[in-house]
Amino acid sequence: MDKEKECVVVNYKPVFPQLLIALLGCACVYFGHIASILLGLFLVGLSLLVQFGVKDYHLLDIYDDRLAIYDPNSGSVEETIPFSDIEEWNINRAKPYSLYLRLKDGRQILRETYQIAKVNKALRKYIDKKESIQLQKELNKNKKLTFRNPFKRRKKMEKVDIKKLYLDILKEQIENVYDDQSDKIKEAAEMICDTMTNNGVVQLFGFNHANEFVNELNFRAGGMAPYHGMSVSILDLEGEAPHAIISDGSIANDPSYIDKMLAHYKLDDRDMLIVVSKDASELFTLELAKRYKANGQKVIAVVNKKSYDVKATGDQGEKLLDIADMYLDMGSTRSDIAIKVDDLRVAQTSSTVANVLAQMLTAEVYNCFKERGLEAPVLLSANLKGADLHNNALTDVYMGRVR
Protein backbone atom coordinates (compact mmCIF):
# COMPACT_ATOMS: atom_id res chain seq x y z
CA MET A 1 0.00 0.00 0.00
CA ASP A 2 1.25 3.51 -0.76
CA LYS A 3 2.71 5.13 2.35
CA GLU A 4 0.90 8.38 1.71
CA LYS A 5 -2.43 6.52 2.14
CA GLU A 6 -1.25 5.09 5.47
CA CYS A 7 -0.50 8.54 6.87
CA VAL A 8 -2.21 9.65 10.09
CA VAL A 9 -2.62 13.43 9.95
CA VAL A 10 -2.51 15.23 13.30
CA ASN A 11 -3.51 18.85 13.84
CA TYR A 12 -3.26 20.97 16.98
CA LYS A 13 -6.98 21.67 17.54
CA PRO A 14 -9.51 19.01 18.65
CA VAL A 15 -12.20 18.01 16.14
CA PHE A 16 -14.71 15.43 17.41
CA PRO A 17 -14.95 16.61 21.07
CA GLN A 18 -15.66 20.10 19.85
CA LEU A 19 -18.43 18.85 17.54
CA LEU A 20 -19.97 16.68 20.27
CA ILE A 21 -20.02 19.60 22.71
CA ALA A 22 -21.80 21.78 20.14
CA LEU A 23 -24.39 19.04 19.42
CA LEU A 24 -24.95 18.49 23.13
CA GLY A 25 -25.47 22.22 23.59
CA CYS A 26 -28.04 22.29 20.79
CA ALA A 27 -29.84 19.34 22.37
CA CYS A 28 -30.01 21.17 25.71
CA VAL A 29 -31.46 24.27 24.04
CA TYR A 30 -34.06 22.05 22.31
CA PHE A 31 -35.52 20.95 25.68
CA GLY A 32 -36.65 24.52 26.27
CA HIS A 33 -36.13 24.75 30.04
CA ILE A 34 -34.28 27.81 31.29
CA ALA A 35 -31.53 25.77 32.97
CA SER A 36 -31.04 23.54 29.92
CA ILE A 37 -31.06 26.57 27.58
CA LEU A 38 -28.35 28.28 29.67
CA LEU A 39 -26.32 25.08 29.75
CA GLY A 40 -26.81 24.63 26.01
CA LEU A 41 -25.73 28.20 25.24
CA PHE A 42 -22.67 27.71 27.44
CA LEU A 43 -21.70 24.51 25.60
CA VAL A 44 -22.26 26.06 22.18
CA GLY A 45 -20.26 29.12 23.25
CA LEU A 46 -17.46 26.85 24.47
CA SER A 47 -17.29 25.06 21.12
CA LEU A 48 -17.24 28.44 19.32
CA LEU A 49 -14.45 29.62 21.58
CA VAL A 50 -12.40 26.61 20.62
CA GLN A 51 -13.29 27.04 16.96
CA PHE A 52 -12.38 30.71 16.71
CA GLY A 53 -10.09 31.25 19.69
CA VAL A 54 -7.67 28.36 19.47
CA LYS A 55 -5.09 28.54 16.72
CA ASP A 56 -4.99 25.45 14.53
CA TYR A 57 -2.09 24.13 12.46
CA HIS A 58 -0.79 20.96 10.89
CA LEU A 59 1.42 19.28 13.51
CA LEU A 60 2.38 15.73 12.47
CA ASP A 61 2.10 13.11 9.78
CA ILE A 62 2.54 9.62 11.22
CA TYR A 63 3.53 6.86 8.79
CA ASP A 64 4.26 3.21 9.55
CA ASP A 65 8.02 3.79 9.73
CA ARG A 66 8.49 7.49 10.50
CA LEU A 67 6.82 10.71 11.54
CA ALA A 68 7.05 14.10 9.88
CA ILE A 69 7.01 17.19 12.11
CA TYR A 70 5.62 20.37 10.56
CA ASP A 71 6.66 23.96 11.20
CA PRO A 72 3.51 25.68 12.59
CA ASN A 73 4.48 28.98 10.96
CA SER A 74 5.37 27.97 7.42
CA GLY A 75 3.33 24.77 7.24
CA SER A 76 6.29 22.93 5.69
CA VAL A 77 7.98 19.81 7.00
CA GLU A 78 10.49 20.81 9.65
CA GLU A 79 11.99 17.37 10.25
CA THR A 80 11.36 13.72 9.38
CA ILE A 81 12.23 11.23 12.13
CA PRO A 82 12.45 7.47 11.52
CA PHE A 83 10.95 5.46 14.37
CA SER A 84 14.32 3.71 14.71
CA ASP A 85 15.81 7.05 15.88
CA ILE A 86 13.31 7.41 18.74
CA GLU A 87 14.76 6.23 22.03
CA GLU A 88 11.77 7.14 24.18
CA TRP A 89 8.33 8.69 23.81
CA ASN A 90 5.51 9.79 26.05
CA ILE A 91 1.97 11.12 25.79
CA ASN A 92 0.94 13.64 28.43
CA ARG A 93 -2.84 13.36 28.76
CA ALA A 94 -3.10 16.24 31.24
CA LYS A 95 -2.41 19.87 30.38
CA PRO A 96 -0.73 20.84 28.15
CA TYR A 97 -1.62 17.66 26.21
CA SER A 98 1.72 17.02 24.60
CA LEU A 99 3.89 14.49 22.78
CA TYR A 100 7.42 14.07 24.10
CA LEU A 101 10.22 12.42 22.10
CA ARG A 102 13.80 11.65 23.11
CA LEU A 103 16.03 10.74 20.15
CA LYS A 104 19.13 8.59 20.06
CA ASP A 105 21.29 11.66 19.39
CA GLY A 106 20.17 13.11 22.75
CA ARG A 107 17.73 15.70 21.42
CA GLN A 108 14.37 16.18 23.11
CA ILE A 109 11.29 17.25 21.15
CA LEU A 110 8.00 18.45 22.65
CA ARG A 111 4.85 19.10 20.60
CA GLU A 112 1.46 20.16 21.96
CA THR A 113 -1.78 18.84 20.47
CA TYR A 114 -5.36 18.26 21.55
CA GLN A 115 -5.59 15.25 19.22
CA ILE A 116 -3.62 13.32 21.80
CA ALA A 117 -5.69 10.12 21.54
CA LYS A 118 -5.00 9.89 17.81
CA VAL A 119 -1.25 10.31 18.37
CA ASN A 120 -1.24 7.77 21.18
CA LYS A 121 -3.09 5.17 19.11
CA ALA A 122 -0.79 5.58 16.10
CA LEU A 123 2.46 5.50 18.06
CA ARG A 124 1.40 2.49 20.13
CA LYS A 125 0.75 0.71 16.85
CA TYR A 126 4.10 1.51 15.28
CA ILE A 127 6.55 2.01 18.19
CA ASP A 128 6.24 -0.94 20.50
CA LYS A 129 7.54 -0.81 24.09
CA LYS A 130 9.19 2.57 23.84
CA GLU A 131 6.72 4.62 25.83
CA SER A 132 8.38 6.44 28.71
CA ILE A 133 7.16 5.74 32.23
CA GLN A 134 8.14 9.24 33.32
CA LEU A 135 6.52 12.45 32.12
CA GLN A 136 9.04 15.14 31.23
CA LYS A 137 7.37 17.68 33.51
CA GLU A 138 10.12 20.27 33.27
CA LEU A 139 9.51 20.54 29.51
CA ASN A 140 5.80 21.13 30.08
CA LYS A 141 6.17 24.18 32.31
CA ASN A 142 4.63 27.47 31.26
CA LYS A 143 2.79 25.93 28.32
CA LYS A 144 -0.53 27.65 27.61
CA LEU A 145 -3.30 27.60 25.03
CA THR A 146 -2.65 29.88 22.09
CA PHE A 147 -5.61 32.19 21.43
CA ARG A 148 -6.28 34.62 18.65
CA ASN A 149 -8.86 37.36 18.29
CA PRO A 150 -11.60 35.88 16.04
CA PHE A 151 -12.50 39.35 14.73
CA LYS A 152 -8.99 40.07 13.46
CA ARG A 153 -7.82 38.88 10.09
CA ARG A 154 -5.68 35.80 10.51
CA LYS A 155 -2.10 36.24 9.41
CA LYS A 156 -0.45 33.55 7.37
CA MET A 157 2.69 33.71 9.50
CA GLU A 158 2.72 34.11 13.26
CA LYS A 159 5.45 36.35 14.61
CA VAL A 160 8.27 34.44 16.28
CA ASP A 161 10.85 35.84 18.67
CA ILE A 162 13.75 34.40 16.70
CA LYS A 163 16.41 35.48 19.17
CA LYS A 164 14.56 33.63 21.94
CA LEU A 165 14.28 30.58 19.69
CA TYR A 166 18.05 30.66 19.11
CA LEU A 167 18.70 31.16 22.83
CA ASP A 168 16.58 28.12 23.72
CA ILE A 169 18.42 25.94 21.20
CA LEU A 170 21.80 27.18 22.43
CA LYS A 171 20.87 26.59 26.09
CA GLU A 172 19.78 23.05 25.29
CA GLN A 173 23.07 22.27 23.54
CA ILE A 174 25.12 23.73 26.40
CA GLU A 175 23.14 21.75 28.96
CA ASN A 176 23.62 18.59 26.88
CA VAL A 177 27.38 19.19 26.79
CA TYR A 178 27.40 19.47 30.57
CA ASP A 179 25.20 16.41 31.09
CA ASP A 180 27.03 14.21 28.59
CA GLN A 181 30.62 15.29 29.20
CA SER A 182 31.03 16.20 32.87
CA ASP A 183 33.24 13.17 33.46
CA LYS A 184 35.31 13.81 30.33
CA ILE A 185 35.81 17.48 31.24
CA LYS A 186 37.09 16.37 34.64
CA GLU A 187 39.40 13.83 32.98
CA ALA A 188 40.78 16.50 30.62
CA ALA A 189 41.23 18.91 33.56
CA GLU A 190 43.27 16.31 35.46
CA MET A 191 45.52 15.87 32.40
CA ILE A 192 45.97 19.65 32.11
CA CYS A 193 46.61 19.98 35.83
CA ASP A 194 49.29 17.27 35.63
CA THR A 195 51.02 19.20 32.85
CA MET A 196 50.86 22.56 34.61
CA THR A 197 52.11 21.22 37.96
CA ASN A 198 55.08 19.73 36.08
CA ASN A 199 55.94 23.22 34.73
CA GLY A 200 54.57 22.27 31.33
CA VAL A 201 52.60 24.56 29.04
CA VAL A 202 49.27 23.63 27.43
CA GLN A 203 49.78 24.51 23.78
CA LEU A 204 46.60 25.45 21.92
CA PHE A 205 45.96 25.31 18.17
CA GLY A 206 43.03 25.70 15.80
CA PHE A 207 42.20 27.13 12.38
CA ASN A 208 39.61 29.82 11.62
CA HIS A 209 36.59 29.52 13.95
CA ALA A 210 38.36 26.84 15.97
CA ASN A 211 40.82 29.55 16.98
CA GLU A 212 38.04 31.10 19.09
CA PHE A 213 38.47 28.22 21.56
CA VAL A 214 42.19 29.05 21.65
CA ASN A 215 41.52 32.73 22.35
CA GLU A 216 39.03 31.78 25.07
CA LEU A 217 41.84 30.11 27.06
CA ASN A 218 45.00 31.95 26.02
CA PHE A 219 46.14 34.58 28.57
CA ARG A 220 42.69 35.59 29.81
CA ALA A 221 41.89 37.22 33.14
CA GLY A 222 40.36 34.51 35.30
CA GLY A 223 42.15 31.85 33.25
CA MET A 224 45.31 29.86 33.78
CA ALA A 225 48.73 31.34 32.99
CA PRO A 226 50.32 28.19 31.46
CA TYR A 227 48.19 28.27 28.32
CA HIS A 228 49.79 29.29 25.04
CA GLY A 229 48.15 29.78 21.65
CA MET A 230 49.95 28.92 18.43
CA SER A 231 48.85 30.34 15.07
CA VAL A 232 49.89 30.13 11.42
CA SER A 233 49.32 33.88 11.17
CA ILE A 234 52.83 34.36 12.52
CA LEU A 235 54.15 33.01 9.20
CA ASP A 236 52.27 35.77 7.40
CA LEU A 237 53.68 38.43 9.72
CA GLU A 238 57.22 37.14 9.24
CA GLY A 239 56.84 36.69 5.49
CA GLU A 240 57.54 32.96 5.70
CA ALA A 241 54.35 31.86 3.95
CA PRO A 242 52.31 33.48 1.16
CA HIS A 243 49.53 35.65 2.51
CA ALA A 244 47.08 34.06 0.05
CA ILE A 245 47.30 30.51 1.46
CA ILE A 246 46.75 31.82 4.99
CA SER A 247 43.85 34.14 4.13
CA ASP A 248 42.02 31.52 2.05
CA GLY A 249 42.76 28.74 4.54
CA SER A 250 44.52 26.43 2.10
CA ILE A 251 47.52 26.20 4.43
CA ALA A 252 45.34 23.93 6.57
CA ASN A 253 46.07 21.14 4.10
CA ASP A 254 49.80 21.87 3.76
CA PRO A 255 51.64 20.40 6.78
CA SER A 256 55.02 21.38 5.28
CA TYR A 257 54.72 24.70 7.15
CA ILE A 258 54.52 23.09 10.61
CA ASP A 259 58.25 23.30 11.33
CA LYS A 260 58.33 26.98 10.36
CA MET A 261 55.45 27.76 12.71
CA LEU A 262 56.88 25.78 15.62
CA ALA A 263 60.29 27.47 15.19
CA HIS A 264 58.72 30.73 16.45
CA TYR A 265 57.77 29.27 19.85
CA LYS A 266 59.76 28.04 22.83
CA LEU A 267 58.49 24.50 23.20
CA ASP A 268 59.29 21.92 25.85
CA ASP A 269 58.87 18.16 26.18
CA ARG A 270 56.80 18.78 29.32
CA ASP A 271 54.14 20.53 27.23
CA MET A 272 50.88 19.02 25.96
CA LEU A 273 48.61 19.97 23.06
CA ILE A 274 44.93 20.85 22.78
CA VAL A 275 44.00 20.89 19.11
CA VAL A 276 40.60 22.21 18.02
CA SER A 277 38.86 21.32 14.76
CA LYS A 278 35.17 21.04 13.97
CA ASP A 279 35.49 17.98 11.72
CA ALA A 280 39.25 17.27 12.10
CA SER A 281 39.74 17.18 8.33
CA GLU A 282 42.82 19.48 8.10
CA LEU A 283 46.11 17.69 7.30
CA PHE A 284 48.05 20.40 9.18
CA THR A 285 46.07 19.74 12.35
CA LEU A 286 46.46 15.96 12.02
CA GLU A 287 50.23 16.14 11.47
CA LEU A 288 50.70 18.54 14.39
CA ALA A 289 48.89 16.14 16.72
CA LYS A 290 51.01 13.23 15.41
CA ARG A 291 54.22 15.20 16.17
CA TYR A 292 53.22 15.70 19.80
CA LYS A 293 51.98 12.15 20.25
CA ALA A 294 55.13 10.65 18.69
CA ASN A 295 57.17 12.67 21.22
CA GLY A 296 55.25 11.05 24.10
CA GLN A 297 53.22 14.19 24.89
CA LYS A 298 49.53 14.26 25.72
CA VAL A 299 47.03 15.37 23.09
CA ILE A 300 43.40 16.43 23.65
CA ALA A 301 41.19 16.94 20.60
CA VAL A 302 38.15 19.24 20.66
CA VAL A 303 35.80 18.34 17.79
CA ASN A 304 32.16 18.49 16.84
CA LYS A 305 31.58 14.73 16.92
CA LYS A 306 28.64 14.66 14.52
CA SER A 307 30.65 16.59 11.91
CA TYR A 308 33.72 14.47 12.60
CA ASP A 309 31.82 11.21 12.09
CA VAL A 310 30.58 12.33 8.67
CA LYS A 311 34.06 13.40 7.51
CA ALA A 312 35.68 10.26 8.92
CA THR A 313 33.29 7.87 7.13
CA GLY A 314 35.14 6.00 4.41
CA ASP A 315 38.50 7.56 5.31
CA GLN A 316 41.04 4.75 5.46
CA GLY A 317 43.87 6.96 6.72
CA GLU A 318 44.82 7.87 10.27
CA LYS A 319 42.29 10.19 11.91
CA LEU A 320 42.62 12.73 14.71
CA LEU A 321 40.69 10.75 17.32
CA ASP A 322 42.91 7.74 16.58
CA ILE A 323 45.86 9.85 17.72
CA ALA A 324 44.48 11.93 20.59
CA ASP A 325 44.51 10.62 24.17
CA MET A 326 40.91 11.81 24.53
CA TYR A 327 38.43 14.19 22.94
CA LEU A 328 35.81 16.71 23.98
CA ASP A 329 32.67 17.24 21.90
CA MET A 330 31.35 20.69 20.94
CA GLY A 331 27.91 19.06 20.96
CA SER A 332 26.36 20.88 17.99
CA THR A 333 24.43 19.51 15.02
CA ARG A 334 26.30 18.29 11.97
CA SER A 335 25.33 21.26 9.82
CA ASP A 336 25.94 23.61 12.76
CA ILE A 337 22.86 25.66 11.79
CA ALA A 338 20.44 26.38 14.60
CA ILE A 339 17.19 27.70 13.13
CA LYS A 340 15.25 27.99 9.89
CA VAL A 341 13.90 31.35 8.72
CA ASP A 342 11.97 31.67 5.46
CA ASP A 343 13.39 28.33 4.25
CA LEU A 344 16.93 29.53 5.03
CA ARG A 345 18.94 27.99 7.84
CA VAL A 346 20.77 30.59 9.94
CA ALA A 347 22.71 31.08 13.18
CA GLN A 348 25.52 28.75 14.25
CA THR A 349 26.13 27.28 17.70
CA SER A 350 29.39 25.28 17.68
CA SER A 351 31.75 28.20 18.41
CA THR A 352 29.64 29.47 21.30
CA VAL A 353 29.17 26.01 22.80
CA ALA A 354 32.90 25.35 22.38
CA ASN A 355 33.73 28.58 24.24
CA VAL A 356 31.45 27.59 27.11
CA LEU A 357 33.13 24.17 27.08
CA ALA A 358 36.51 25.92 27.34
CA GLN A 359 35.38 27.87 30.40
CA MET A 360 33.91 24.75 32.04
CA LEU A 361 37.34 23.19 31.49
CA THR A 362 39.05 26.18 33.14
CA ALA A 363 36.73 25.94 36.15
CA GLU A 364 37.48 22.23 36.52
CA VAL A 365 41.25 22.83 36.22
CA TYR A 366 41.00 25.35 39.05
CA ASN A 367 39.09 22.79 41.11
CA CYS A 368 41.80 20.20 40.38
CA PHE A 369 44.48 22.52 41.79
CA LYS A 370 42.33 23.14 44.85
CA GLU A 371 41.76 19.42 45.47
CA ARG A 372 45.51 18.85 45.32
CA GLY A 373 46.10 21.57 47.88
CA LEU A 374 47.93 23.76 45.35
CA GLU A 375 47.51 27.40 44.39
CA ALA A 376 46.11 27.69 40.89
CA PRO A 377 48.07 30.00 38.51
CA VAL A 378 45.05 32.25 37.84
CA LEU A 379 45.64 35.48 35.92
CA LEU A 380 44.17 38.72 37.29
CA SER A 381 42.46 41.47 35.31
CA ALA A 382 44.82 44.26 34.32
CA ASN A 383 42.31 46.70 35.85
CA LEU A 384 43.15 45.45 39.35
CA LYS A 385 45.90 47.03 41.39
CA GLY A 386 49.01 44.88 41.40
CA ALA A 387 47.72 42.66 38.56
CA ASP A 388 50.78 43.19 36.37
CA LEU A 389 53.13 42.20 39.17
CA HIS A 390 51.00 39.12 39.95
CA ASN A 391 50.67 38.03 36.31
CA ASN A 392 54.36 38.56 35.54
CA ALA A 393 55.30 36.41 38.51
CA LEU A 394 53.19 33.60 37.03
CA THR A 395 54.53 33.88 33.49
CA ASP A 396 58.20 34.75 34.08
CA VAL A 397 58.97 31.25 35.34
CA TYR A 398 58.25 29.94 31.84
CA MET A 399 60.92 32.22 30.31
CA GLY A 400 58.99 33.28 27.22
CA ARG A 401 57.14 30.00 26.66
CA VAL A 402 53.74 31.67 27.31
CA ARG A 403 52.10 34.92 26.13
Nearest CA among 350, 353, 365 for reference residue 222: 365
Q: What share of the chain is helix, strand, coil (3-state, %, to 5)?
A: 45, 20, 35
pLDDT at position 109 is: 83
Which region holds residue 45: left if phi is over 0, alpha if psi is between -120 and 50, else beta? alpha
CB atoms inside a 10 Å sphere around CB 175? 11
Average pLDDT over every residue of 55-81? 82
Local confidence band at 270 (pLDDT 50, 70, 90 cut-offs): very high
Q: What is the CATH number of domain 164-396?
A: 3.40.50.10490
CA distance 114 to 61: 15
CA distance 205 to 211: 7
| 3-154: in CATH 1.10.10.10 | no
Q: In sequence order, which residues have a C-beta less than 8 Å from that of residue 136 and are 6 or more positions away?
A: 90, 100, 108, 110
Helices 350-371 + 162-197 axis angle, to 10:
40
What does the domain layout of the chain look like in residue ranges? Answer: 3-154, 164-396
Q: How many CA atoms lie within 13 A of 369 on its CB side?
A: 18
Nearest CA among 252, 221, 228, 357 for reference residue 301: 357
- Read off the pLDDT of residues 173-211 as tens digits, 9 standing for 90 and up: 899 899 999 999 999 999 999 999 999 999 999 998 888
Beta bridge partners of 206: 276
Q: Which backbone phi and psi does 362 adopt, to 5 degrees?
A: -60, -45
- Read off the pLDDT of residues 344-402 as tens digits, 9 standing for 90 and up: 777 888 888 999 999 999 999 999 999 999 999 999 998 999 999 999 999 999 999 99
Q: In sequence order, which residues have a C-beta less than 8 Å from that of residue 109 and are 6 or more positions away?
A: 69, 81, 100, 101, 102, 103
Question: What is the side-by-side order of every strand in the sheet holding 299-303?
Answer: 227-230, 202-206, 272-276, 299-303, 326-329
CA distance 195 to 197: 6
**pTM over the 0.85 mark:** no
Q: How many CA atoms lie within 13 A of 119 on its CB side?
A: 28
